[in-house]
Structure 1
Amino acid sequence: MRVKATIETIQVLALQGLGFRGHDESSTSLNQGNLIELLKFKERGNDALESIIFKNAPQNAKYTSPKIQKDILYILADRVRNMIFDEVARGYFCILVDESQDKSKKEQTALILRYVKNDGLLGERFFDIMGVKNTYALTLKKEISNILSQFNLPIQNMHDQGYDGASNMRGEWNGLQALFLKDCPYAYYVHYFAHRLQLALIAAAKDKPNVWQFFSHLSCIVNLVASSSKRLGELKSFHRSEVENMLASGERQSSKWANQIGTLHRAGATRWSLHYESVRNLIDIYDASCVVVESLNKSTNQQIRGQANGVYKVMKSFEFTFILHLVDNILGIMNALCQALQQKTQDILNVMKLVSTTKALLQKLRQDDWDTFLANVVSFCNRHNIAMHDMSSPYERGTSCRRQQDHIIIEHHYHFDIFSSTIDFQLIELEHRFNDGVVKLLSLSSPLDPSGNFNLLMWIIFAILPRNVIPKISLLRTSML
């Protein structure tokens, strides 16, 4: 009964991802940690259990020590892996691998298996996490091979590899995918699609100095406004008053979830969709953010006053407002594709259609929507008292001490040097990472989806094709999955 109570408690804690041990587990402690406190809760009202655990248990058989906890966890993990092995059923599988540093700066590598279950549906299971001394390709291959062989998963049955685009993973000669290809000729390497989109957007942002500078300014604005609870409180208060006035004047419609009082969010480094949320939030609460930043100009802290002065000038500049709306339009178009690429159950045919649609919408924005876009930016500037340029004036490039005149007008600079050029970078990167050949191949492979009419398709193939071709079709199906 003691062992069973400990196992059930550990199962609950592991399922919820909670820590087991407490800071002080002595008998005089008011909080002895999650494991012991849950066991105490479990014994309440259970006389049989209360009579055999803790004080009534033998000193060497309480079954609550850290070693016992780890032993039980290892047993549970092995049982889960054995269930996954039964689902794979000695069939073909794919591996997904990624590494990262934990809080103690040690490299940890996660291994995920993707396979077709007996019912024809795709299964994707987290299989193991392993500590590695380094991230060299040979080291990773050795560790992964050891884990697979330990659970009787033949490396020869591997039919796909999914990694990021790091050189040690995708290297054509000495990368991890190349090392596995020597042992498994059908283990084709696929770069994560969601990661490709992330890299495409980041590369485009870095190649355009104006866009890179915009995100730098955006980070400063968020850090300044959201760095204290007092400023966040002021931001929400100003935004609430603004929304109430707009509702009263009829500028906003009242409906469920339509007028939430928001705040500024930092742009995350791992998901580009967070950049879109950050840009969208700043546009929604632009006036409230300006009021908070302007109020900091009166701060007694000279450093904060200097930062607020610089940030306020940036926010009230036409170039910042222009790029703010440009990035909002581009990321808004790409948001549907970004969300689709991050879904667990991914419909690859739908994603390929979204890739083509995204390219078409970006091309349309570049060719046809300049006038509409500029009109929206001008309207925003007029509403928020932002000084406008005379778009027909000559554009001068350079510093104040030495200016170089390009013999172009300001509208030409914003239209072609920023608007069209930024969209072109996006289109080039998307074409490079999602080229037409890959899109067409994956679209044509959609009939091989096991959740659809694959069995009917296979019967037709068996009836038409020669017998020596059928095994190759089966291998192609598993590789594509």
Structure 2
Amino acid sequence: MTSPKIQKDIINCCAKETTKCIIEELGHDYFGILANESSDVSQKEQLALLLQYVDRKFEKVVERFSGIIHVGDTTALSLKEEFMTLLMDHSLRPSMIRGQGYDGDSNMKGEINGLKTLIMNDTPRAYYVLYFAHQLQLTLVVVAKNNDSCGWLFEILANLLNVVEVSCKRRDMIRESQAQKVAQALDLGELKSGSRLNQELGLKRLGDTRWGSHYKSLLNIIHMFPTIVEVLVHIGKHGSSEDKFKAQIVLGSLETFDFVFMAHLMLAIFGYTNDLYVALQRKEQDIVNVMELISYAKIGLQKVREQGWEALLNKITSFCVKHGIVVLTMGASYVPQGRSIRFVEQITNLQHFRLDIFLGVIDLHLQELDNRFNERNMELLTCMACLSSKDNFSSFVKDKVLKLATFYPKEFSSLDVMSLELQLDIFIDNMQSDNQFRDLNDLLNFL
């Protein structure tokens, strides 16, 4: 049992038995495929494949890991061949695929030669739905990359983390300094004590695929701003020569109106999208609820765009006054911080911060949300949501259910659709008039 060879044999046997149980549970029913590619520690490209289907009791949708494939290249054609080989090894028919879910890379979602297109060419009913959470992540990534000021902000945040989070000693300095300030505020009556209040805060490592980390980091940085400044000053005076230089540069950027403005603006934007981000991470998420959250996020951002300038500027001004940061006069000429004036047009502070940054960033964000959550798969999901039993079938719309049927022409012929139109009238009348179905919230309650 201590032999590596025997251990590998046991693991392989367990894997085969587990896979066998999964395939038996799936049987010959329809299924969806989920996949993601990434490199392992040896830099070999790996493709993980999951199967998604309804269990035998019709109680829930399950996702089962079915294998990892080593791929020599990540072209769509190569990925498809590996996909089909793995499915055939498990005696699964590609014709039974009824859904695909990947990330937003061009080799996966490309309209001409992407993996989802190649599979749909063989199985037209295998509709592709991009991961909702990943769509939101990509929206925020595009905003950061397409706006210079956003890119500058996140570069400063990355530099800050590299300075203060590089050692346990510096993390302890932040904790100790913050604890002292909390104790002083409690003594002065500025904070209340109690359960779950005044908990220890830290700085989150940033990542493009985890934009919730950006929101939490911005929250903590604004909340702990005096503490962070104090630690940076200490490093700038007593650190090594290299660390002194880095700390002084980061501190110089933090104590500017530009940084405070961008931090508060992005915090406001993340505030409206964070609930959506968290909701999209849940395993059991209701389609109707997702659609509503997307709409609420767009409405919230549009409201900030139209009515939020004065409130945001007042909050930023108060923050700057409280922490001794120079407040810029909106009518004066804009002078960029940490960047050459050669890259900036001769404009006023009001034009820069309100037009270029405030309106520009929000408009870019709204545009990306519209682009990424306005595809055909959204129509497919919206039509499916009409079958929800929640609130006495309040989401039911007959025309959308009929539209859903047209997406599957091999299951619903033109005659079937004509019959379905009459059957749906009878169905909804029965459902809404029968007290047995009045309190249904999901399919489980049918059983």
TM-score (norm 1): 0.78
Quote the Cα distance in structure 2 between the aligned partners of 1:372 and 1:251: 23
Query: Does 2:267 align with 1:320?
Result: no
Query: Does 2:407 align with 1:469?
Result: no
Which residue of structure 2 aligns with residue 243 of structure 1? 182
Give the Å deviation of 1:139: 2.0
* Counterpart among 137, 155, 174 of residue 94 in structure 2: 155
Which residue of structure 1 aligns with residue 120 of structure 2? 181
Which residue of structure 2 aligns with residue 118 of structure 1? 56
Question: Which residues in structure 2 correspond to 1:26-175 (within 5 Å)?
Answer: 63-120=1-58, 121-175=60-114
- Relative to structure 1, the CA distance from residue 162 to residue 357 in structure 2 (aligned partners, 3 Å threshold; closer, same or farther) is same
Which residue of structure 2 aligns with residue 13 of structure 1? none
- Relative to structure 1, the CA distance from residue 402 to residue 336 in structure 2 (aligned partners, 3 Å threshold; closer, same or farther) is closer
The one-letter code sitting in structure 2 at the alignment partner of 1:378 is T
Quote the Cα distance in structure 1 between the aligned partners of 2:231 and 2:77: 54
Give the Å deviation of 1:405: 3.5
Determine helix, strand or coil for the equivalent of 1:296: helix
CA offsets 1:402-430 (integer angstroms, 9 cap, x no match): 99633xx4233211211111111100000
The one-letter code sitting in structure 2 at the alignment partner of 1:362 is L
- Relative to structure 1, the CA distance from residue 401 to residue 122 in structure 2 (aligned partners, 3 Å threshold; closer, same or farther) is closer
Quote the Cα distance in structure 1 between the aligned partners of 2:334 and 2:101: 48
Determine helix, strand or coil for the equivalent of 1:190: coil
Which residue of structure 2 aligns with residue 223 of structure 1? 162
Q: Which moved more, 1:192-201 or 1:130-139?
A: 130-139
Give the Å deviation of 1:441: 4.5
Which residue of structure 1 aligns with residue 232 of structure 2? 293
Which residue of structure 2 aligns with residue 33 of structure 1? none
Quote the Cα distance in structure 1 between the aligned partners of 2:55 and 2:198: 45
- Relative to structure 1, the CA distance from residue 468 to residue 82 in structure 2 (aligned partners, 3 Å threshold; closer, same or farther) is farther
Which residue of structure 1 aligns with residue 310 of structure 2? 371
Quote the Cα distance in structure 1 between the aligned partners of 2:304 and 2:239: 46
- Relative to structure 1, the CA distance from residue 171 to residue 390 in structure 2 (aligned partners, 3 Å threshold; closer, same or farther) is closer
Determine helix, strand or coil for the equivalent of 1:168: helix
Question: Which residues in structure 2 correspond to 1:287-436 (within 5 Å)?
Answer: 287-299=226-238, 301-395=240-334, 399=340, 405-406=346-347, 409-435=348-374
Give the Å deviation of 1:444: 3.1
Quote the Cα distance in structure 1 between the aligned partners of 2:367 and 2:9: 53
Give the Å deviation of 1:186: 0.9
Give the Å deviation of 1:399: 4.5
Contact 2:137 2:208 in 1 (8 A): no
Query: Does 2:229 align with 1:282?
Result: no
CA offsets 1:369-407 (integer angstroms, 9 cap, x no match): 11111111111111111111122334467956899633x
Asked which structure has the greater CA Rg, the reply is 1
Determine helix, strand or coil for the equivalent of 2:128: strand
Which residue of structure 1 aligns with residue 206 of structure 2? 267
Contact 1:447 1:453 in 2 (8 A): no
Q: Which moved more, 1:210-219 or 1:116-125?
A: 116-125
The one-letter code sitting in structure 2 at the alignment partner of 1:234 is M
Give the Å deviation of 1:438: 5.4
- Relative to structure 1, the CA distance from residue 253 to residue 444 in structure 2 (aligned partners, 3 Å threshold; closer, same or farther) is farther
- Relative to structure 1, the CA distance from residue 279 to residue 177 in structure 2 (aligned partners, 3 Å threshold; closer, same or farther) is same
Quote the Cα distance in structure 1 between the aligned partners of 2:169 and 2:285: 42
Determine helix, strand or coil for the equivalent of 1:219: helix
Contact 1:349 1:443 in 2 (8 A): yes
Give the Å deviation of 1:468: 4.5
Give the Å deviation of 1:472: 11
The one-letter code sitting in structure 1 at the alignment partner of 2:8 is K
Contact 1:169 1:176 in 2 (8 A): yes
CA offsets 1:146-191 (integer angstroms, 9 cap, x no match): 2211221111101111111222222223222222123212111222
Quote the Cα distance in structure 2 between the aligned partners of 1:204 and 1:136: 27
- Relative to structure 1, the CA distance from residue 451 to residue 176 in structure 2 (aligned partners, 3 Å threshold; closer, same or farther) is farther
Give the Å deviation of 1:437: 6.7
CA offsets 1:268-294 (integer angstroms, 9 cap, x no match): 232111111111111111110000101
Determine helix, strand or coil for the equivalent of 2:190: coil
Which residue of structure 2 aligns with residue 196 of structure 1? 135
- Relative to structure 1, the CA distance from residue 423 to residue 467 in structure 2 (aligned partners, 3 Å threshold; closer, same or farther) is closer
The Cα RMSD (Å) is: 2.9
CA offsets 1:16-64 (integer angstroms, 9 cap, x no match): xxxxxxxxxxxxxxxxxxxxxxxxxxxxxxxxxxxxxxxxxxxxxxx44
The one-letter code sitting in structure 1 at the alignment partner of 2:159 is C
Contact 1:396 1:404 in 2 (8 A): no
Determine helix, strand or coil for the equivalent of 1:393: coil
Contact 2:127 2:377 in 1 (8 A): no
5+ residue gaps in structure 2? 406-411, 421-447
The one-letter code sitting in structure 2 at the alignment partner of 1:425 is L
5+ residue gaps in structure 1? 1-62, 474-481
- How high is the sequence identity, in percent, across the aligned residues? 38
